[in-house]
Amino acid sequence: MRVLVTGGAGFIGSHVVEALAARGHEPVVFDVRRDPASDVCDTAAVARALRGVDAVCHQAAMVGLGTGFEDAPEYVRRNDFGTAVLLAAMAEAGVERLVLAGSMVVYGEGRYACPRDGVVRPGPRAVGDLEAGRFEPVCPRCGAELLPGLVDEDAPVDPRNVYATTKLAQEHLAAAWARCTGGSALSLRYHNVYGPRMPRDTPYAGVASFFRSALARGEAPRVFEDGRQRRDFVHVRDVAAANLAALEASSAAGALTVLNTGSGEPHTVGEMARALADAHGGPAPVVTSQYRLGDVRHITADSARLRAELGWKPEVGFAEGMREFAADR
């Protein structure tokens, strides 16, 4: 199978390219980092790249929270306009198979249960609560403490920052493309992906990259809030394997399928910082009580559907992956 990998020279995309090649497929890298003419927003360039292609693995995106709302136009241009250009070119070329790099950020806050009111969905956290160090969401009905749980793919979406909004828009565009063309689209909603080749020293990288960069400078990782926010840290090679499984699997024509893609092992951000610091040899993390508007408190999802439908399972454990990541200088 000849597969166009947008963002194929990037962090996740480069691992997808390797996984495809190792399986005997023919990956075609389309990435401005390799070739300035390979811009997913350029209709002519995308059309040329799609010649002879059987499927597309769309990894190209602007990621992270960025530096502020002033980044919004660029997020929308790269993520949503670029996806629209790609899908229109696929429709013209008759390419009928898409795997999309989705994100768990589309859910907003994770799943919460109240002892009295059952499953509830807390709204965005108030600035006053964050300033006072009250980081845990409370029940919107009775104000009780909540128990965080796992989100499945049927949960309502509630994007809470620009990046999350653009990732949800990508899925809507993919769904519209599938309905109009009869193509098959599958979105892998990634959790916190980490591993070799993760970008360094950029406001658009993930928290694991921030911590590793601090340790490389001999500085303590600075952990926001109280460090107890729950996430699912999934290794990039496992994410690449999920993309390979998605490309090789049969999926519904004329529809979008979404599958959570995580390790299935929730850890706190503080745990991750300590694991990296221990593997690096220090210094120990510092909990700062700082916060970022747009961050959610807990988001961990149930990836059982991906395992059941595609036969995928993660192979890199948390401790092993953090040791490798810390050594990736």
Catalytic residue ranges: 163
User: What span, in angstroms and rounded, lies between the C-alpha atoms of 24 and 29?
Assistant: 15
According to DSSP H, which parts of 4-95 are helical?
A: 11-22, 43-49, 72-75, 82-93
**How far is it, in rounded angstroms, from Cα 207 to Cα 214?**
11
Tokens 């790609």 locate to 86
Please list, in sequence order, all residues whose beta carbon lies within 8 angstroms of the beta carbon of residue 65, skipping any fewer than 6 positions away.
Answer: 161, 162, 163, 203, 204, 292, 294, 295
| Alpha carbon distance 86, 77 (integer Å) | 12
Distance CA 232, CA 261 (A): 9
